[in-house]
């Protein structure tokens, strides 16, 4: 037998189903902490949520990249500080060799000390991190220089390439992160070329050439200033890395807040909604229980 509900009863059941569904949804939102369980929950906000998630992922990758860049830049800055300090020794030995009281033998000894320092400079130029030569430009699997003491000019030609490497700031700008050993120690300008200046001084000392020693020593100040300028590049780059890292952290906080507002449950609001739904459900059941009931006997009486 088919029983047809009255419109009043049907409306009651529909409302009760709606209230029950709301309660179930609120309970799931509270237990999971996520209000957007599926696309159909808030279709108008899905695009914004996906864009925010993609932006957060990109920003987090930038942070990861900056961590590696920071290690390289800090190593570069430390290496340059060592180079500047080492060149102070070159100037001291040069000034010593230029005095008129030196003999050919003592100047030869000074030249040997400078040659040892030159070899240390090659070691600094060949600084590597995790198998990468940080001063070899884009050819970071190749050492910038080799050193052969048997040659008149023991330092080889530059073996690397120019550097085009840059770091990305989350605001979309980029900044260079490395100089090459050629730029630092082997400048195209002879007056700032450290290897040229050092070799010239060593040769003049070995030849006991007073005029040559004086000329070479006088040129060292310009090279020292140039090395300090190259050191300043790494100080500036460190500042850029720090600023970019801070920008990324700020951006990620903002994106995480945006994502949370789109997908996470507002616990206070949801609990209030659930309490109201429970009240509505209880009131509806009480009202339905108070409705008069008619039976077949009522119609037969």
Q: Could you say which DSSP state residue 149 is in?
A: T
Residues of the chain short of pLDDT 50, as ranges, are 1-2, 22-23, 26-32, 39, 266-268, 270-272, 299
Question: What are the CA-CA distances from residue 144 to residues 29, 127, 132, 182, 186 (Å)?
Answer: 60, 9, 11, 8, 11
3 state DSSP class of 174: strand
| Cross-strand pairs, 155 | 147
User: Can you give the pLDDT at residue 28?
Assistant: 47
Cα Rg of the chain (Å, integer): 39
| Cross-strand pairs, 166 | 176
Return d(Cα 202, Cα 208) in angstroms, integer.
10
User: Can you give the pLDDT at residue 260?
Assistant: 85
3 state DSSP class of 40: helix
Return d(Cα 290, Cα 301) in angstroms, integer.
23
Q: Could you say which DSSP state residue 264 is in?
A: B
Chain centre to alpha carbon of residue 243? 10
Residue corresponding to tokens 């085009």: 164
Q: Residues 57-95: pLDDT tens digits?
A: 999 999 999 999 999 999 999 999 999 999 999 999 999
| Other beta carbons within 10 Å of 38 | 8
Q: Dump the DSSP string for 109-162.
A: HHHHHHHHHHHHHHHHHT-EETTEETTSTT-TTS-S--B-TTSSS-BPPP-S--
The CA angle 209-116-127, to the nearest 5 degrees, is: 130
Q: Dihedral (C-alpha) 172, 178, 182, 186: value to the nearest 10 degrees?
A: 110
Return d(Cα 36, Cα 34) in angstroms, integer.
6
Which of 298, 258, 80, 45 has the alpha carbon at shortest distance from 179? 80
Q: H/E element holding 226? A: helix 220-263
Q: Residues 13-47: pLDDT tens digits?
A: 555 555 555 445 544 444 445 555 554 555 656 78
Return d(Cα 229, Cα 187) in angstroms, integer.
13
Chain centre to alpha carbon of residue 293? 74
Domain 80-233 has CATH 1.20.1330.10: yes
| Cross-strand pairs, 34 | 264
Residue extents of the structural domains in the chain: 80-233
- The beta-strand segments (E) located in 149-300 are 166-168, 174-176
């Amino acid at each position: 037998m088919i029983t047809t509900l009255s419109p009043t009863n049907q409306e009651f059941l529909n409302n009760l189903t709606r209230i029950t569904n709301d309660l179930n949804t609120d309970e799931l939102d509270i237990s999971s902490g996520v209000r957007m369980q599926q696309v159909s929950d808030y279709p108008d906000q899905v695009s914004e949520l996906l864009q925010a998630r993609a932006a957060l992922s990109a920003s987090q990758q930038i942070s990861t990249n900056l961590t590696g860049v920071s290690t390289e830049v800090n190593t570069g800055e430390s290496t340059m500080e060592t180079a500047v300090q080492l060149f102070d020794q070159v100037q001291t030995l040069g000034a010593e060799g230029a005095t008129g009281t030196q003999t050919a033998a003592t100047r030869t000894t000074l030249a040997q000390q400078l040659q040892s320092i030159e070899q240390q400079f090659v070691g600094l130029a060949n600084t590597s991190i995790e198998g990468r030569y940080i001063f070899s430009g884009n050819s970071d699997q190749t050492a910038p220089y080799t050193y052969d003491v048997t040659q008149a000019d023991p330092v080889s030609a530059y073996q690397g390439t120019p550097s085009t490497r840059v770091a990305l700031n989350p605001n979309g700008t980029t900044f260079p992160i490395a100089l090459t050993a050629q730029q630092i120690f082997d400048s195209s300008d002879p007056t700032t070329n450290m290897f040229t200046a050092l070799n010239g001084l060593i040769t003049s000392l070995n030849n006991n050439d007073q005029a040559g020693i004086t000329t070479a020593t006088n040129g060292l100040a310009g090279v020292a200033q140039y090395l300090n300028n190259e050191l300043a590049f790494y100080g500036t780059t460190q500042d850029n890395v720090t600023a970019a890292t801070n920008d990324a952290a700020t951006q990620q906080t903002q994106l995480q807040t945006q994502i949370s507002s789109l997908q996470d449950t507002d616990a206070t609001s949801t609990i209030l909604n659930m309490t109201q739904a429970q009240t509505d459900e209880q009131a509806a059941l009480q009202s339905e229980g108070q409705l008069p009931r008619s039976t077949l006997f009522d119609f037969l009486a």
